[in-house]
Structures are given as structure tokens and as C-alpha cells.
Structure 1
């Protein structure tokens, strides 16, 4: 089983990229973030045409998440109920007996800003939400754009990024709190000593210079870790014409 996540940074712009990537890679499940589409604008027919079921939680201009699956969905839910907020950042669905939670986590803008304080509240709510999900679904995958690079090896220049948003000790502690619920960072589990970036700034030729961060993750609950076979970042998609600034991450489970 191939399960992937990709922040497409506007599905309206990147729909051809997404369809091409699906055709070339044939994942069983693909989680998408930053759709930037109203709920009624989602191109469901395009995915149905190539054999995928779709569930989505859309928002015009900002945010928006979706799950595409070869198999039908059960128990689809959106948002974190306790937050009671307008930002569309969460969608969850059960596929076979696996709970898939797709998350587009808050960026935070800058340390000490109001948006950073909001990011802290949001991650606290996410932790409580995922604790509930795990209680109901022992086989759970939390995946998406976390906007956190959890280890120094996930940053092209750790000294430069020290104490900056995405790499701060506070944010890394929030990531570790998710792991402490009973999740495993799949790529780090297999390749703890290798640099694998998933995001490159559009500016200053960062992708061509191989200067990136790993902020997109696939976290597996304890029941699923024994099934993990491989995790890869498909950086080739970042080199396409008019690309997203993120690359897909793909986990292969037995």
C-alpha cells in the first residue's frame, strides 16, 4: 500500500500536476493540503475519471485539505470540533480499517507573533484531537504539512534557522508531543541520519541549490509501524513547470 501527502499550494493551479503525479505513481491514498478552493469548486470529476474517490474540506483563497483514495471512504469528518474556527485545516476518513487524518498545520509567521501564539493553541487542540482518534482507531496515520522541521538534519542550515519559525524549540516540542501519543515519524524512523527535504522557498533558487526543509510528514500509529517498508520524497515534482513549493512524500506499507 502506497500512502502519500502533498501540499499542492493551490489545486486550481496545480491540478494538472496532481493528475500527472497520480497517473505516474498510482498511490492508494493521497492527502492534499492548501487546496485554496471553495467547497463547491473541488474538481471531483477529474479524480473520479482516473479511479479515485475524493473527500475534501475546502476554503477559498486559503487552506483547504482533501483525501483521495482508490477505496471508498467511511466515517468522513472535518475540522477539530473543539477549535470552532473557520480555517479548513483537517479532514479525516477511514479507509479499510485505517484512519487517515490529513492536516495542514498553522505556519506561525514569526516567533512571538499573534500567529505563533495561535499555532501553539492549534497544536494543543490537534494533540487532544489525535488522542481521541487513536482511542477510536488503533490504526491511524496523521500526515500532511506540519510546518515544523523536527530535527536539525531536516534543515539545510540549522544554525541559520535556529530559533526561527518552523525550527524553534517550542515547535519541535509540539511535534514530539504528537509522537508521545504513540506515533512514529516514518521517514525519520528509516533514515535518521539522512537529509530529506520536502519544501524549498521559491526565492533565490533554493530548490536548484538543494536548500530546503523537511516539514511534510507521515506519522504512523504503533499498530502500523511493523508494516512500514519505505518512505521517499519525490523531489522530481518540485522541478516541474510552475511547481508547488512542496514535494510529495510517499510511505509504502506491507
Structure 2
């Protein structure tokens, strides 16, 4: 069950963006800041997108709604209790498929100090009291919405410009912490403990372009919901669309409960039911098609060195890497028919944490100018095909491969990782298969059994194996005199590098071996873009290939588009 929260910042003004994003098919959507009265809510468009809806509107400001794909939300509250005189539309609560879901739009509180900040604190105290009641329910509960609180300094970009802003003041932060202290789980932070995971970028001062963001949209879970949590994230790219809200959707995925154990949620208060409509929409099941994740740099380098340097594009500029990479990408898509494609890239201009911890890492590597000139064009081609690129300073493509595999596995999907780097064998599992190039146009499919056959270790032992054996290409020396056979033998006997060291082996270089293992271990917690399903845009890629005057590539793309 995928539950998302999205401050839409005027539902009618951004209706096209909302409907387009709903194609990702979250099961439940919590909307805030509708800026529309009850009668102005775009119910027809929501129904057409196969969602039922309940909402509480307000002219010009505020407004909240809950959308559901699998049946009509059953309303339990239309206001936050504790102040009958408060008429602002900031809270609505409903039960959907045995889960009680509340969406809230907490007061901003600016300027502070002043009456708006005083109202913010009073409202959050009421939320604290009601959260205590919800926490005790014998049912999963999700509190989702725009809390207008930056919980810690780790949830805001480095700046002093917000020092007097109500979002970061000690009072609201303390009240948010008190809610967590009741036992609620901050789902986004639980699943992404180190990444910023911003959800809001102000329109002013190019904050989106500078990634000067804040995390103020949260999904809090009681224990019944938390034990079903399998995934969480932020659809950052939605913020970058034309006419976008200043927020991006944040979401969680809950594992389905066994049907026999589902219990209806008892309404905590009977109130007048808000506007509601019913549609025939039903939740889409998880796609059977795999997610295809590609090591972009790996295939770019292979293509550049494999094809003649006489292959040129418009302006007589080199194009061998472009053509070779494009052929690999299109062949993989044709053969595997993935639901989405993610291409990961190294950031060559910035050293990674691996380089900082071990300066000799990958030292001596040099790249031809002709290859470097083509690399940024490869990402442009990927985007033209309708696929997703990902890269980030301080991380390698490998890290994004690992993070994408972990995220897709958590949501129950299958993953194909295409890479010529055998370090990726550590990612092989019953849901993730490595596509490893063995000769022109042919990929070996590597699963756990193939890893054991090649190395004599399980996939999870591969980083330990690399640390002991060494990796000349990455300049990791390994343990003297061990080699591949010795590394496999040690791991078969002791089970892990740590156990090997605990047995008294290699005491003089123990810390070095631990460092090599950390370098060889792919980081599964790096931030990712949305892994939503895609529809190829072959016509855009064809236009780009024509611009480059790569006629062979144009022909392949036209064939894909026609068929």
C-alpha cells in the first residue's frame, strides 16, 4: 500500500501536474493547501484519474483532501479536536483498507513572534494531544502532511537565512519531538537516515536550482503501521516541472496485511461527512516488469574503446561512445521490456568518500578528451528516450545501482542491473539479477548461484572477498599472498572478514582490510529520484539522433517507435 503526501499549493492551478503524477498510482494521496472551496474542488478530474476523494476546502487558503484508489475513504474526522472555534481547514481523517490516515496542514507561523506563531504552537499542542489518542488505537495509523516544521538542522540546507523563520524555532521543533517521543516513527528519516530528503524548495532566490531545500512534509507511523513499512521516498523531480508546487510528494510503502487480520478502523468521532464521490478505480498491482538499472560509465567506456574512432556525428565530432552506448541501451530495453530504466553515472569532477578515505583509490586513471566530450551527451540521450539519469557529488554509479536495487526489492519488484563491473555481484539476490557483458551483444545473467560458482562465496560476502583478494583496477592491494582462492577459503572457514580478523589473522593490516571492505561495499542509502514506471519517448530520441546525423541510430529508433 503506497501512501503519499503532497502540498499541492492550489489544486486547480496545478491540476495538470497532479493528474500526471497520479499516473504513478499511489494507493492513497493526502493533499494539502488546496486553496479551493468545497464546490471548487476538481472532483471530476480526480474521478477520471480513478480516485475517490474526501476533502475539506477553504476559500483562498488551506484545504485538505484524501484520495483513494481502492474504495472510498471513510471519514472519521474533519477537524483537529481541541478548539471548536477554529474553523480553518487544516485536518481530515479517514479509514482506507484497515488503515487510519490523517492528512494535516499545520500553520506556518510566520512572522514570529506574533499571533500567527502563537496559533501555530497552540495548533501543534492540539495535534500532540490527538496523536496520543490515535497512537493507542489497535490499528495502523499514518499522520501525513505538511507539518511546517524542520525537525533538525540536518533537514535544511546550510544557511542562516532561516534563523528567524517559524519553521526552525525551538518551540515547534520541541512539539514535533514530543509527538515522536510518544512512539511515532518518522518514516522518511527511518528509511533514509543520512540523506537530506528535502520536500520543499522556496520559489525565491533560485532555491530549487541550488537544491536549497527543507524537509517539512512528514509521514508518522504508529507501531501497527511501522512494522509494515518497507519503503519511503520523495519524488523530487515533480518539483522541477513547469508550474510546479514548491513542495514535492513524499511517500511510504506499507506491506499488505493478511486479509484475515485486517480490522476495520473505528471512527474516533462522528461528524458531518464532507464532500465525497465514488469511482470505479482500483489499485494497480505491482508491475511484473523489472526495473532496469544501468551502469552508464561502464558501458560508455566499453563502447568508446570497442568502436572505431572514425565514427563521427554532426560537425565531425566523435560519436563512437554515443552510438555504442545507445545500441546497448536500446537492445536492453527491447530484450528485457522493463517498467522503467535508471542510468547511473559517476561524478568525475568531485572526489568520492572512497577517494577521501583512500587516496590511492582508482589512481592513475586517465580519460581521453574525446570520451569526456561524449559523456554528457549520453545522459541527454537517456533523457530523450524518456528514461531517468542519476548522479551526485561524492557518490559513484555503483552506489546508485545498489540503492535502486534495495528500493525496488523493498517494494516487491524485480531488478536487472547491467554493468561490466564485477563488484556489482554483491547485489545479486532472488530478486536482483546482474547482466554482465561477456561478448558483443551478449550478457551473462548473474544470480546468487553464479556468484558462488565464480567466486566460491555468497553475494553478501563479495566486499569481504574483494578486501582479502584485492582489486588491482581500484588499487586495493588486499591481504599479501591470499589471492582469490585464499580469500574464498578464508570466508568459507570463518564466514566474514571480521570473523577472520577476530581469529587472529592479519593483525598488522586489520584496519587496512576493514577500509578496503568499506570501499568495496556499495552504498545502498544514497538519495534516488523517483523510480516510477515510464513510457519511452522514442520520437524525442529520434529527433536528437537526427540532429547528430547518426543515421544508423535513427533507423533503430524508428523501428522501436513503429513496433
Q: TM-score range by the shorter chain?
A: over 0.9
Return the alpha-carbon distance in structure 2 between the equivalents of residues 160 and 49 of structure 1.
Answer: 43
Partner of 1:45: 44
Q: Check the 8 A contact 2:110/2:165 in 1, yes or no.
A: no
| Alignment CA distance shift 1:167-1:193 (3 Å) | same
How far residue 35 of structure 1 moved from its aligned partner, in angstroms, is: 0.2
1:159 is displaced (CA, Å) by: 4.8
Inter-partner Cα distance in structure 2 for 1:158 and 1:192: 21
TM-score normalised by L of structure 2: 0.44
Indicate the residue corresponding to 2:186 in structure 1.
185
Post-superposition shift, 1:74? 2.1
The 1:48/1:137 distance shift into structure 2, 3 A limit, reads farther
CA distance in structure 2 between the partners assigned to 1:75 and 1:206 by the alignment: 37
- The residue aligned with 1:108 is 109
Q: Distance in 1 between matches of 2:252 and 2:4?
A: 6
Q: Distance in 2 between matches of 1:68 and 1:168?
A: 32
Write the distance in 2 (CA, Å) between the matches of 1:218 and 1:81.
Answer: 20
- 1:163–1:169 Cα contact (<8 Å) kept: no
Q: 2:60 aligns to what? A: 61
Report how far residue 139 of structure 1 moved: 1.1
Compare 129-138 and 111-120 and name the one that shifted more.
129-138
Q: Deviations over 1:25-72 (max 9, x none)?
A: 110000000000011111112111221110000001000000000122
User: CA contact under 8 A between 1:55 and 1:76: conserved in structure 2?
Assistant: no
Q: CA deviation at 1:137?
A: 5.0
CA distance in 2, matches of 1:190, 1:161: 26
Alpha-carbon displacement from aligned partner over 1:223-250 (angstroms, at most 9, x marks no partner): 1112111211111111111110000001
Cα contact 2:81–2:126 (8 A) shared by 1:
no
Residues 198 and 214 in structure 1, CA contact (< 8 A), matched pair in contact too? yes
Change (3 A) 1:158 1:222: farther
The aligned counterpart of 2:30 is 31
| Cα distance between partner residues in 2 of 1:132 and 1:48 | 33
* Equivalent residue number for residue 94 of structure 2: 93
- Alpha-carbon distance in 2 for matches of 1:110, 1:66: 27
Partners of 2:138 and 2:65 in 1: CA distance: 20
Decide whether the 8 Å contact of 1:200 with 1:211 is kept in 2.
yes
Q: Which has the larger radius of gyration?
A: 2
Secondary structure at the counterpart of residue 82 of structure 2: coil
Range that drifts further, 74-83 or 99-108:
74-83
1:126-183 deviation line (CA, Å, top 9, x unaligned): 1112222333453110000000010111110255534532112211111111112221
Q: Distance in 2 between matches of 1:7 and 1:89?
A: 12
CA contact (8 A) 2:98 2:139 kept: no
User: How many residue pairs are counted as aligned between the two chains?
Assistant: 253
Contact 1:98 1:137 in 2 (8 A): no
SS for the counterpart of 1:12 is coil
Which deviates more from structure 2 when the two are superposed, residues 141-150 or residues 107-116? Answer: 107-116
Q: Contact 2:138 / 2:224 at 8 angstroms: preserved in 1?
A: no
**1:93, distance to aligned residue in structure 2 (A):** 0.1
TM-score (norm 1): 0.95
Structure with the bigger RCO (C-alpha within 8 Å, sep 6+) is 1
Distance change (3 Å), C-alpha of 1:137 and 1:143: farther
- The answer for unaligned runs of 5 or more in structure 2 is 256-563
| Root mean square deviation, CA, Å | 1.4
Structure 1: distance between partners of 2:49 and 2:10: 20
Q: 2:165 maps to what in 1?
A: 164
Moved more, 206-215 or 66-75: 66-75
Contact 1:103 1:145 in 2 (8 A): yes
Partner residue of 1:238? 239
Name the structure 1 match of 2:14. 14
Q: Distance in 2 between matches of 1:121 and 1:51?
A: 37
